[in-house]
Amino acid sequence: MTGIEKVGNDFKVYAGKNVYDAHSVIIASGVKHRRLTIPGEEELSGKGVSYCALCDGAFFKGENVAVIGDGNSALQYALLLSTYCPKVYVCTLFDKFFGDKALVDALGKKSNVKIMHNVNSIRFEGENELTGIVFRRPDKSEFTLDVKGCFVAIGQIPDNNGYKNLVDLDKEGYIISDENCATRTDGLYVAGDCRTKQIRQLATAVSDGAIAGFNAGKYVECNN
């Protein structure tokens, strides 16, 4: 879906070259993984560079891997990977983690996890598969970690600009809605990670879907 237009009580939904008519619309566009935007990332994505240890971690069983990030997702990824990877490097740009203390403490007890603070990733190396990651220290010196897998966990970003003509966005680009998952446009609802909320988990996304679906149905009954 690339855009939405309100026409009377109904909508036109644009998806590439196709246009669909709808009485009500639910936006559930999710979020995208934030990227490092360093050399080699795009070329090696899916060839050693990943953004989800739950999805791809098992492919690296028995291999040395790295996790880049300092929040809860990075900590959880590292804990998972430590159960089947001989060495897990956890690399952060700053001098500390910003995740839950319980996760930090659990990670500190893992003998096969090495925490590396104050390092900045500058490029991925490898031809058809990842062979290493080059980092830079605060003193400008560089070093390479020889790993077969890297899991980037530096946050997520929404992609809601195509709908901003009909919805309000918060400062981070998430869609603002009320407890009924309704936006500022009648008949237009939002569900899941793309909307402003405190907790982004599967359970809350399912709840959003049920609420948005119920209210979209009511809107159709009352206006058509």
At 99-157, the pLDDT tens digits run 999 999 999 999 999 999 999 999 999 999 999 999 999 999 999 999 999 999 999 99
Which residues lie closer than 8 Å to 129 by C-beta, 6 or more apart?
44, 47, 48, 148
Task: Give the pLDDT mean for 196-208.
Answer: 91
Domain ranges of the chain: 3-31+158-223, 35-152
CB 65 within 8 A of CB 149: yes
Band the pLDDT of 85: cuts 50, 70, 90: very high
- Evaluate whether 3-31+158-223 and 35-152 have a shared fold: yes
Provide the pLDDT for residue 201: 82
Residue 68 pLDDT > 90: yes
Provide the pLDDT for residue 224: 75
Provide the pLDDT for residue 1: 74
The CATH number of 3-31+158-223 is 3.50.50.60
Provide the pLDDT for residue 16: 85
Provide the pLDDT for residue 67: 98
Provide the pLDDT for residue 202: 86
What backbone torsions phi and psi does residue 177 show, to the nearest 5 degrees? -145, 170
Residue 185 pLDDT > 80: yes
Provide the pLDDT for residue 92: 98
Band the pLDDT of 2: cuts 50, 70, 90: confident
Task: Give the pLDDT mean for 1-17.
Answer: 90
Q: What is the per-residue pLDDT across 12-34, written as a single tens digit (0 to 9) for each?
A: 999 889 999 999 999 999 999 99
Band the pLDDT of 199: cuts 50, 70, 90: confident
Task: Give the pLDDT mean for 186-199.
Answer: 95
Superfamily, domain 35-152: FAD/NAD(P)-binding domain (3.50.50.60)
Ordered alpha helix ranges (H), the chain:
41-44, 53-56, 72-81, 101-108, 202-223
| Overall pTM > 0.95 | no
Task: Give the pLDDT mean for 195-211.
Answer: 92
Provide the pLDDT for residue 154: 96
Provide the pLDDT for residue 23: 96
Q: Burial level of 59, CB count in 10 A (0-12/13-18/19+)?
A: exposed
Which residues lie closer than 8 Å to 120 by C-beta, 6 or more apart?
93, 135, 136, 137
Mean pLDDT of the chain: 95
